[in-house]
Amino acid sequence: MTTHVPAHPGALRTRPGILARREARPYLHPYLAGILLGITLFLAFFLSGNGLGASGGMNRLLVLVEDTIYPEHIDRTAYLSSLAGGDRNPLDSWVVFVTIGVVIGGFASGWINGRIKLETVRGPNTPIRVRWVMAFLGGVLMGYGARLARGCTSGQALSGGAVLSVGSWAFMLAVFAGGYAFAYFMRKLWN
């Protein structure tokens, strides 16, 4: 049984259209979702020899754009030239396809389960512009942190944690500690 929760008064209204005509289905039980994620991770290791991850794919897409605009910089920077220097194609990596698959799969799942809608979820006293700026800044910080840590929560925590990498476990503890510490300062955006 699903319950209808009215949209927050400050949220943008959903625009009617083909994407918003479906009734939202309930979410999976968290234990079932965890089991399915574990099976997916196992199959990723078993079939491809690689775990899951997303920040590497985004990084390679950005390197593609940079290589198109300023290829001389790519060729002069050791890290970037290992991805796209000379005749190398930055999209020639399994992680690019994982990233594209996550976007397509997320969209398909949202559409099938009736959860695609245009809205900005925020606190009652938070302007929409502030919410978008904070979301952008949070994304930039998470992206920078993922590259600095040599992986995102999928690559480091899930894949690295599954193979008992000490660095991955330290990364995940730091993510949770940082998130709890920083939440104190961000709660006013939701209250």
> Does residue 24 sit in the same domain as residue 97?
yes
Residue 50 inside a domain? The answer is yes
> What are the residues whose beta carbons fall under 8 Å from the beta carbon of 119, sequence distance 6 or more?
7, 11, 12, 13, 14
pLDDT in tens, 4-53: 444 555 444 445 555 556 788 899 999 999 999 999 999 989 988 888 88
pLDDT in tens, 110-150: 999 998 888 888 888 889 999 999 999 988 988 888 888 88
Domain that holds residue 49: 14-119
Q: Are the C-beta atoms of residues 168 and 52 closer than 8 Å to each other?
A: no
Strand ranges inside the chain, DSSP E: none
> Does residue 61 sit in the same domain as residue 114?
yes
> Does residue 93 sit in the same domain as residue 18?
yes
> Does residue 151 sit in the same domain as residue 166?
yes
> Does residue 74 sit in the same domain as residue 107?
yes
Q: Is the pTM of this model over 0.85?
A: no
> Does residue 109 sit in the same domain as residue 138?
no
Boundary-marking domain end, from 64, 95, 119: 119
> Does residue 94 sit in the same domain as residue 168?
no
